[in-house]
Structure 1
Amino acid sequence: MQITASTVSLTVADVAASQAFLTAHLGYTVQAAADGFASLTRADAVDIVLLARGTQVLPPEQRDRHAAGLILAFTLADGLHDQEKRLREAGVEITMPLREEPWGERLFQITDPNGVIIQFVEWATSDDT
């Protein structure tokens, strides 16, 4: 098996709102879009498909589910503080302030207009301590 790409599919109430948020603040570009659907890509991250809740392409038991209980996490090589500042200055609400966990994970979270939690992570190195 050879995997050529990874995609996460999120069911949301307002596809256009998440699409606008992800393209404006996270640098995603639109690969394809139609009513109730958007496929977003970024060369250095997982692709994202947004599907409208209730869409008929989903199996009946999945149509009304919301992308809840998941965190879309992006690990950064460096610049976590800079990204938090950039997003804050752009008017994005930081829903979990920048912090460092005892195991060396630095992180902060934002939430898109549909309630999808997006987390940015940077790992502390032994040189940082």
Structure 2
Amino acid sequence: MRRIDYVIWYVESLAASVPFYRDVLGLQVRIEGDGYVEFALENSKFALFERAKLPELIGDRAGRAPCGEIGFLVDDVDAEADRLRAAGVTVLSGPVDRPWRERTLHIADPDGNVVEFAQKLPRTS
């Protein structure tokens, strides 16, 4: 395996989740239809899929959220935190400098999945 091709969040409501990722986080919609919405990113695919449609896709063995975390690299975590707070988003943690040389911020999407924003910090001598 060389890289992750895509991440799909199973969500209760596209009507609630799409505006969060599109309008609050600022992702552009690339494809949508039949319970699926994919956002335009350069390095991989990120999409939402309506949980109610899962039995058609994989049968009755679907997981329940919150299931995981997705992380986005940004240039300025503090500016992102200010923007998200102004949009009414509750910050779960951060911004905070981490020992692995990243400044991070954590929020939750409408389904409770964790969204992290990380800014690479310079090495200190």
State if a TM-score over 0.5 links the two structures.
yes
Percent identical across equivalent pairs? 26
| Aligned 1:60-79 pairs, distance under 5 A | 60-63=59-62, 65-76=63-74, 78-79=75-76
**Equivalent residue of 2:92, what SS?**
strand
Tell me by how many angstroms 1:123 deviates.
2.0
* Cα distance in 2 for residues equivalent to 1:47 and 1:109: 21
Tell me by how many angstroms 1:45 deviates.
5.4
Tell me by how many angstroms 1:104 deviates.
1.9
User: CA RMSD, aligned part only?
Assistant: 2.5
Q: How many residues align?
A: 124
Q: Deviations over 1:32-85 (max 9, x none)?
A: 3335x232223345432211223133212433x224331100122x21111111
**Equivalent residue of 1:107, what SS?**
strand
Tell me by how many angstroms 1:105 deviates.
2.0
Corresponding residue number in structure 2 for 1:98:
95
Corresponding residue number in structure 2 for 1:6:
5
* Cα distance in 2 for residues equivalent to 1:22 and 1:43: 12
Tell whether the 8 Å contact from 2:66 to 2:111 is kept in structure 1 after alignment.
no
* Cα distance in 2 for residues equivalent to 1:71 and 1:115: 10
2:90 maps to 1:107: no
Tell whether the 8 Å contact from 1:19 to 1:38 is kept in structure 2 after alignment.
no
Tell me by how many angstroms 1:115 deviates.
0.9
User: 85-94 vs 37-46, which deviates more?
Assistant: 37-46
Gaps of at least 5 residues in structure 2 are none
Q: TM-score, with normalisation over the residues of structure 2?
A: 0.81
Gaps of at least 5 residues in structure 1 are none
Tell me by how many angstroms 1:22 deviates.
0.3
**Equivalent residue of 1:114, what SS?**
coil
Change (3 A) 1:45 1:108: farther
